[in-house]
Amino acid sequence: MIVDIQSRSWNSPEQLGPALAERLRRLDGQRSVPIDASPAKLVAEMSCLSAACLLGYRCDRTGGAIPNEFIIDQVRRNPGRVVGVAGVDPIAGDPEGQVRRARDGGLLGIAVSPSTQGFHPNHTAAMRAFEVAESLGMPVWASRPGPITPTCHLEYDRPLGWDEVARNFPQLAIVIGGLGEPWIAETAMLLSKHDRIYADLAGVIGRPWPLYEALQAAIGYGVMDRLLFASGFPLQTPAKAIESLYSVNSLTHGTQLPSVPRSALRGIVERDSLAALGIEFEVLPAATPAAAPRSTERIAVRRS
């Protein structure tokens, strides 16, 4: 089983707000292959995956919105392949209602972006959202949907901001995006403290040296089992992300640097991330047409 724990899709970068759309256009101009975040492209790139978590986005502060209705539609179009994660903006009002409506719509987790939305993780409104998420068994993803913009409050992305959240809600599964870069060692330490905090490799997985450093930090803190595979689509494809991860030891050839055990790399790629997060989901085998499912692989998970 291979689960991409963080992917995003949109019809237009303008949905992410003017500042982020401008950064994406600038990034697009520097790439040999244009960024294609369309739903059709996402489905095409999922051929190497068992399932992918598709994250929504809401940021009233900057005018960004990938509506939860869009995520729900993609889940319905790709049964057993796409896991829907709601975009929630805790400081936009009614944080508890946002989470409950997402669950009523069939979404299985919530995604927040403290630096773009402009709140500290232990903000009162955010804590109210997390309390409901814990009660409903919905994991929380913490990540930015794209490049850093001038409007971001980077101090709100510090991984240690989640320490109080984890202390207050010990059964809440939390996924820190990109291993909390640039605070990678801080993230690894946080993972070693809290059993229900995880980190994905989106972003760093496409850059060999930061990826190598992140993996060595995880080895040092004994938390390799808490790392989850993520491509960060559309900025990276799942197939390329897998290739990058398995190629990380090319940096150590001919040097005294320690390599990352291949078994540990395989463990990240093949980890049942949905089970780790306590998500119950029926995975449809990739070879079976979604329109005519013949069998399913049941993941029946109880929250720890």
What is the CATH classification number for the domain harbouring 266?
3.20.20.140
Q: Is residue 64 a part of any domain in this protein? A: yes
CB atoms within 10 A of CB 104: 9
177: nearest Cα among 220, 135, 146, 217? 146
Tokens of 44: 């095409």
Radius of gyration of the chain (CA): 18
As for how many domains the chain has, the answer is 1
Residue 273 has pLDDT above 60, yes or no: yes
Mean pLDDT of 205-221: 95
Q: Is residue 97 a part of any domain in this protein? A: yes
Please report, for residues 57, 89, 115, 166, 231, the alpha-carbon distance to residue 127 in angstroms, rounded to integers and kept in the order given: 18, 12, 16, 10, 28
- Predicted confidence at residue 147, as pLDDT, reads 81
- Predicted confidence at residue 145, as pLDDT, reads 84
Q: How far is CA 186 from the centre of its chain?
A: 18
19: nearest Cα among 119, 149, 168? 149
Q: Which of the two residues, 208 and 300, has the higher pLDDT score?
A: 208
Tokens of 266: 């395989």
Q: Which of the two residues, 287 and 1, has the higher pLDDT score?
A: 1
Tokens of 35: 């960024």
- Sorted by sequence, the CB contacts under 8 Å of residue 148 that are 6+ apart come out as 23, 115, 154
Residue 278 has pLDDT above 60, yes or no: yes
Angle at 13 between CA 17 and CA 40, to 5 degrees: 145
Helical segments of 9-123, H only: 18-29, 39-45, 68-77, 95-104, 114-117
Q: Is residue 304 a part of any domain in this protein? A: no
**Residue 29 banded pLDDT, cuts 50, 70, 90:** confident
Q: Is residue 99 a part of any domain in this protein? A: yes
End-to-end CA distance of the chain: 21
- Predicted confidence at residue 286, as pLDDT, reads 58
Residue 143 has pLDDT above 90, yes or no: yes
Strand order in the sheet with 3-7: 3-7, 51-55, 82-87, 109-112, 140-142, 174-176, 197-200, 227-228
Q: Is residue 163 a part of any domain in this protein? A: yes
| Structural domain of 282 | 3-299
Q: Is residue 106 a part of any domain in this protein? A: yes
**Phi and psi angles of residue 90, each rounded to the nearest 5 degrees, phi first:** -60, -30
Mean pLDDT of all residues belonging to the chain: 91
Q: Is residue 51 a part of any domain in this protein? A: yes
Q: Is residue 265 a part of any domain in this protein? A: yes
Tokens of 21: 């759309």
